[in-house]
Amino acid sequence: MPTRLRRAGLWLALLGTFLLSAGARADSLSILDATFAEAASASTPQISTAELRRILATNQMVVIDTRSRAEFDAGHIPGARRVEAGADGPVAAVDRMLNGNRAASVVLYCNGPFCQASRRLGDQLAKAGFTQVHRYQLGIPVWRALGGPTEIELPGIVRVFGVDRSAVFIDTRPPDEFAAGSVPTAANLPVEALLGGTATPLPLPEDDFNRRIILFGRDGAQARRVAEALATRPWHNVAYFPGSASELIAVLK
């Protein structure tokens, strides 16, 4: 949609204007190494996109999504966990998540540079004695804009399927499995055809490169391979389902 496209353009403009790492020259800084400029007095340090990629690859920190359940279900960074706060609040929930280890390394994120959720929880955790709290303040919009893979949960897909008629569903399984039954309205884009360069033309929208695209396959790994291949293409709003096509088809019949 045009509004989504303008929003994506705004994030990219923000990247060019505001993202500077302390002590680094803008003309020598990779956008993947950038963080959001903020007051030096912030209680929790930031990490860059490149650092978050390394953290996820090595599983060396707990990555926490500080947004609502509905937002998490609609799309989150793979491997992230959501704070399920009870009556005792989010700090106690994080304490339980970390089994009481307040020296454990964690990364918080939310809805982008100006979102306050990760800053607020970071401040609360620091005051409570958590000593290794970091923030990916660029958040899910910039992660997505820079080609980071995004997972969408089943409740999020059900909601999208019911209300967003512009969403594009892509089945990444081989043609014979697709022909045997798939999600209504889904197009077929086999992972091997995409990677081998034989999938032409691609069954993807070219009228708006920020339209929502949801990938699913035999399993989450198959769908993710297509998501990662599309990271170097111009589509900005791609998410993959970590479950199976059979599970999704059963729910969306």
- List per-block mean pLDDT (blocks of 10 residues) for the chain, which spans 253 residues: 51 50 55 86 90 94 96 97 90 96 97 94 96 97 94 97 94 97 96 92 92 97 96 92 97 89
**Is 12 domain-assigned?**
no
- Mark whether 170 and 238 lie in a shared domain: yes
C-alpha 25: how far from its chain's center? 28
**Is 1 domain-assigned?**
no
- Mark whether 25 and 136 lie in a shared domain: yes
Residue-level pLDDT at 60: 87
How far does the chain reach from its first CA to its final CA, in angstroms? 26
* Number of domains forming the structure of the chain: 2
- Mark whether 138 and 27 lie in a shared domain: yes
Domain extent, residue 174, equals 154-252
Domain boundary among 96, 121, 145: 145
Residue-level pLDDT at 179: 97
Q: Cβ–Cβ contacts within 10 Å for residue 196, how many?
A: 9
- Mark whether 85 and 62 lie in a shared domain: yes
Q: Can you tell me the distance from the alpha carbon of 61 to that of 7, in angstroms, rounded to the nearest whole number?
A: 30
Q: Which residues pair with 151 in a beta bridge?
A: 76, 240
The predicted-structure confidence for 206-226, as pLDDT tens digits, reads as follows: 999 989 999 999 999 999 999
**Is 5 domain-assigned?**
no
pTM for this prediction? 0.86
- Mark whether 29 and 116 lie in a shared domain: yes
Residue-level pLDDT at 21: 44
Residue-level pLDDT at 91: 96
Q: What is the CATH number of the domain that holds 188?
A: 3.40.250.10
Residue-level pLDDT at 115: 94
> Which residues, 6+ apart, have CB-to-CB distance to 112 below 8 Å?
11, 138, 139, 140, 141, 142
- Mark whether 175 and 217 lie in a shared domain: yes
Residue-level pLDDT at 253: 80
- Mark whether 64 and 110 lie in a shared domain: yes
Q: Can you tell me the distance from the alpha carbon of 40 to that of 238, in angstroms, rounded to the nearest whole number?
A: 34
